[in-house]
Amino acid sequence: MDNQFLIVGQGIAGSLLAYDMYKAGHKFKIVSSPDENMASDVATRRYNPAIFDKLAKHWKVDELLPVMTNLYRDIENELGHQFLHPVDFTQALSENEIRVWNERIFDGDFSDYMESADTSWIKRGIDNFSLFDRVEKSGYLDLAKLLSELKQFFKENGNLIEANFKYQDIGFINGHITWRGVSAKTIVFCEGHHATKNPYFKSIPFIPTKGELIEIECEKLAEDYIIDENLFVMPMGNSRFKVGASYDYSKQNGKTVLDTRTNLLSRLDRLISLPYKIISHWSGIRPAVSDRRPVLGVHPNNQHIAVFNGLGTKGVILAPYFAREMMCSLVNKNYILDKEIDIHRFLN
Ligand SMILES: Cc1cc2nc3c(=O)[nH]c(=O)nc-3n(C[C@H](O)[C@H](O)[C@H](O)COP(=O)(O)OP(=O)(O)OC[C@H]3O[C@@H](n4cnc5c(N)ncnc54)[C@H](O)[C@@H]3O)c2cc1C
């Protein structure tokens, strides 16, 4: 029997879509290349229901967060590993910001996530600031571990083909797409920033955004919260911390750059006053779109081709909810996607 779906890419987008298909009992294959640079590779990822610069809530967070938590917990139960780690976030506030923050806390719309600004919980190593806020229902996902466990799971179930996908190998025969002997009703491209080369989705205005991260070891820095102050400092256990990230719209290669590292470290030195050791330095490319929203749906001129991309800087919190939306639009032709994320906003 034919596959219903062929997914290209096993980053967070392709993996969560594939997991939803597995749960719904659909027949599918994933083709993904272990050689391609993927944004999801850069290890651990934060999720935060607040936007600190604006002292506001994240877009759609009331809908995104429950779907996110349920899906990752479900995968944890299925695979027998923990991936999601709740940790509070904090940020230094000016006198002015603290007033706005304190108003927000008593606003029913925000109170679920924001806690009163309280200096007492800020501990060792952060001496240059005096007032801090606190965001709850935040934390991090061990994305590298999640993807490697899902890879193994899909391999064992016969769903994963490790290969480099080339567009010229696609065929269209009798209402099916074919690729190297695999046939499916619909091909779903989840290629991350590689989608800039996709001939079927040329009019999506991708803005691939390079980012770099550093891992440090700092014995005395407190490990009970993630600091997000101009850059983030995220505890990983055993006195290890991830520090980042940079944003570079001009370069689209996966190489780390010494200048970026120097810049991250000088920002870190303004934040913490403790000695640390640099352990490693990574880079990756975020698949962002000009309007900073995900992009998904079936191609308006070819019902056998679909896309799920544009997770940008927020793959952890966006991917679970929009993988579900993607599934709905794949299995139900009449399903109406939200205009903000629908592929139709770029293609008619
Ligand atoms: C430095 C940095 C820090 C970040 N921090 C955070 C954070 O804290 N929180 C957060 O939520 N997000 C963060 N992000 C963003 C997050 O990583 C992305 O939103 C997410 O990983 C995008 O996932 P994706 O599946 O769309 O793309 P990718 O992870 O890039 O996956 C694409 C997949 O497609 C495959 N592929 C592509 N082309 C081909 C081909 N021709 N043949 C075969 N396979 C192919 C690749 O091998 C890969 O498996 C960060 C990104 C970077 C770079």
Distance of alpha carbon 133 from alpha carbon 116, whole angstroms: 6
- The CATH class of the 3-43+144-205+290-345 domain is alpha beta
Q: Find the helix packing angle between 143-156 and 61-79, rounded to 10°.
A: 50
Q: What pLDDT score does 25 carry?
A: 97
pLDDT at 40: 64
What is the position in ligand 1's atom list of the atom closest to the CA of 34?
Answer: 47
Mutate to test the pocket of ligand 1, among 31, 316, 318, 326 (most ligand atoms within 8 A of CB): 316
Q: Give the pLDDT score at 42.
A: 65
Distance of CA 32 from the midpoint of ligand 1 (Å): 12
With vertex at residue 256, the alpha carbon angle to CA 253 and CA 259, rounded to the nearest 5 degrees, is 115
Give the mean pLDDT per block of 10 residues along the chain (348 residues): 90 98 98 75 79 81 97 98 93 79 79 72 62 83 94 97 96 92 96 96 95 94 85 92 91 80 93 92 93 96 96 96 98 95 94
Q: How far is ligand 1, taken at its centre, from the CA of residue 181, in Å? A: 27
Question: Is residue 257 within 8 Å of 264, Cβ to Cβ?
Answer: no
Q: What is the pTM of this model?
A: 0.94
| CA–CA dist 106, 97 (Å, integer) | 15
CB 50 within 8 A of CB 107: no
List the domain boundaries for the chain: 3-43+144-205+290-345, 86-139+208-286
**Nearest-CA residue for atom 12 of ligand 1:** 314
Q: Which CATH class is domain 86-139+208-286?
A: alpha beta
Site to substitute for ligand 1 among 8, 40, 84, 289, most atoms within 8 A of C-beta = 40
User: Which residue's CA is the nearest one to ligand 1's atom 19?
Assistant: 315
Atom of ligand 1 nearest to the CA of 15: 25
pLDDT score, position 165: 97
Q: Which of 38, 155, 212 to mutate to test the pocket of ligand 1 (most atoms within 8 A of CB)?
A: 38
Judged by phi (left if over 0) then psi (alpha if -120 to 50, else beta), residue 55 lies in left
pLDDT attached to residue 174? 85
Q: Token match 């083909």: residue? A: 161
Cα(193) to centroid(ligand 1), Å? 7
Q: Which atom of ligand 1 is nearest to the CA of 283?
A: 1
Q: Which is it for strands 176-179 and 170-173: parallel, antiparallel or unpaired? A: antiparallel
Pocket of ligand 1 from Cβ distances under 6 Å: 8-14, 31-33, 36, 38-40, 42, 45-47, 164-165, 190-194, 211-213, 244-245, 284-287, 309, 311-317
> Residue 328: which of 312, 342, 317 has the closest Cα?
342
CB 282 within 8 Å of CB 212: yes
The two three-digit tokens of residue 254, written as one number:
């996966």
Cα(145) to centroid(ligand 1), Å = 14
Report how far apart the first and last C-alpha atoms of the chain are (Å, whole number): 32
| Largest interatomic CA distance in the chain | 68
- What pLDDT score does 198 carry? 97
Q: Work out whether the CA dihedral 222, 81, 50, 287 comes out positive or negative.
A: positive
Q: Whose CA is nearest to atom 18 of ligand 1?
A: 315
